[in-house]
Amino acid sequence: MNSDRDPGHVTQPPGDTPPVSAEVDHPYDFDMPLGEAMRTQRAIRRLTDEPVSDELVKQLIEFASKAPTAQNHQAWEFIVVRDRELIARLAKLNRRVWRLVDKPIAWLNRKDDKFIRTHRATAHQVDNFERIPVLIVCCMTATRHAPSPVVAASSYGSIFPAVQNLLLAARAAGLGANLTTMPLTVNFAARRVLGIPWKVTPVCIVPIGWPAGRYGPTVRKPVGEVTSIDRYGNRAWLDTEGPG
């Protein structure tokens, strides 16, 4: 996997807490057309360790909070993690899960070139998790209609639109970002690291940083291949042209 990693990034030894780089001025705005942001959005897992300002992170969360929300409950909270020790502890949880799934998944998909590229990028993020400038932990809170995390499953319909808004805002600002759940798989330990009460459910983590790689047009299956008309399996649009 090492051949695919960024030459400017040295893999961080497990358990070490890296220093934070000096702040670099990255001009940004949010004027990118929505269509362009959607067409060029991709999971960016190779990040520099240059810091991201509080002001920019606040703007990302503000955009996230503009998402549609069931009955305007706004049942979300965001934990911004900058503390290097806390990020290092989450990195250990990340590696614990990765060690369980890495080799089996790689073997099952060993002939899939696209998967191999993505797998290498994920491995890079696992190895360099301590270097990520900031993590945004997206959480779901209980509501009066969903008093427990178990019953609150319907609230996922509100938190994920907020997460997508956050990802689109990051793209517009030129930041790299992706959605991961691996550190949260070890649920109790992750809660303890971040002090999350049981009435709050951590849903995903969005690592944020300036990209070491580049955004670009994404390649997806044709619309007709993933769309059924009226009944499942009626691929009426399969032979028509549509955005890929």
**Shared-domain flag, residues 135 and 233:** no
Kindly state whether residue 77 falls inside one of the protein's structural domains: yes
pLDDT of the residue at 241:
56
**Shared-domain flag, residues 76 and 197:** yes
The token duo for 71 is 């009955």
Give how many domains the chain has, as a whole number.
2
**Shared-domain flag, residues 82 and 192:** yes
Measured CA distances, 33 to 89, 96, 171, 172 (Å): 38, 39, 11, 8
pLDDT of the residue at 119:
80
**Shared-domain flag, residues 46 and 151:** yes
The token duo for 94 is 């990340």
In the chain, count H helices and then E strands. Answer: 8, 4
The token duo for 240 is 């028509």
**Shared-domain flag, residues 52 and 100:** yes
Kindly state whether residue 177 falls inside one of the protein's structural domains: yes
Query: Across the 244 residues of the chain, what is the mean pLDDT of every consecutive 10-residue run?
Result: 36 49 67 92 93 97 94 92 97 90 81 81 90 96 58 73 97 95 90 94 95 86 95 90 52
Kindly state whether residue 71 falls inside one of the protein's structural domains: yes
CATH number of domain containing 107: 3.40.109.10
pLDDT of the residue at 90:
96
pLDDT of the residue at 32:
93
Closest CA to 200 of 210, 190, 211: 190
- CA 54 to the chain's CA centroid: 18
H helix or E strand, kind and range, residue 159 = helix 156-173
Neighbouring-strand partners of residue 134? 208
**Shared-domain flag, residues 125 and 147:** yes
Quote the domain boundaries for residue 234: 220-244
Kindly state whether residue 51 falls inside one of the protein's structural domains: yes
**Shared-domain flag, residues 146 and 201:** yes
- Summarised one tens digit per residue, pLDDT across range 28-50 is 779 999 999 999 999 999 999 99
pLDDT of the residue at 217:
85
**Shared-domain flag, residues 232 and 190:** no
Q: Which amino acid is at 10?
A: V
Kindly state whether residue 23 falls inside one of the protein's structural domains: no
Closest CA to 79 of 138, 143, 130, 129: 138
Kindly state whether residue 10 falls inside one of the protein's structural domains: no
pLDDT of the residue at 1:
35
User: Which DSSP state fits 137?
Assistant: E
pLDDT of the residue at 87:
96
pLDDT of the residue at 218:
86
**Shared-domain flag, residues 96 and 192:** yes
**Shared-domain flag, residues 192 and 236:** no
Residue with the two structure tokens 């999971």: 43
**Shared-domain flag, residues 49 and 162:** yes
**Shared-domain flag, residues 66 and 159:** yes
Query: What's the predicted TM-score (pTM) here?
Result: 0.81
Measured CA distances, 196 to 52, 83, 132, 158, 164 (Å): 24, 16, 21, 19, 22
Kindly state whether residue 5 falls inside one of the protein's structural domains: no
pLDDT of the residue at 239:
79
pLDDT of the residue at 149:
53
What DSSP line would sit under 172-241, residue for residue?
HHT-EE--B-HHHHSHHHHHHHHT--TTEEEEEEEEEE-BSS---------HHHH--SSSTT--TTTTS-
Kindly state whether residue 16 falls inside one of the protein's structural domains: no
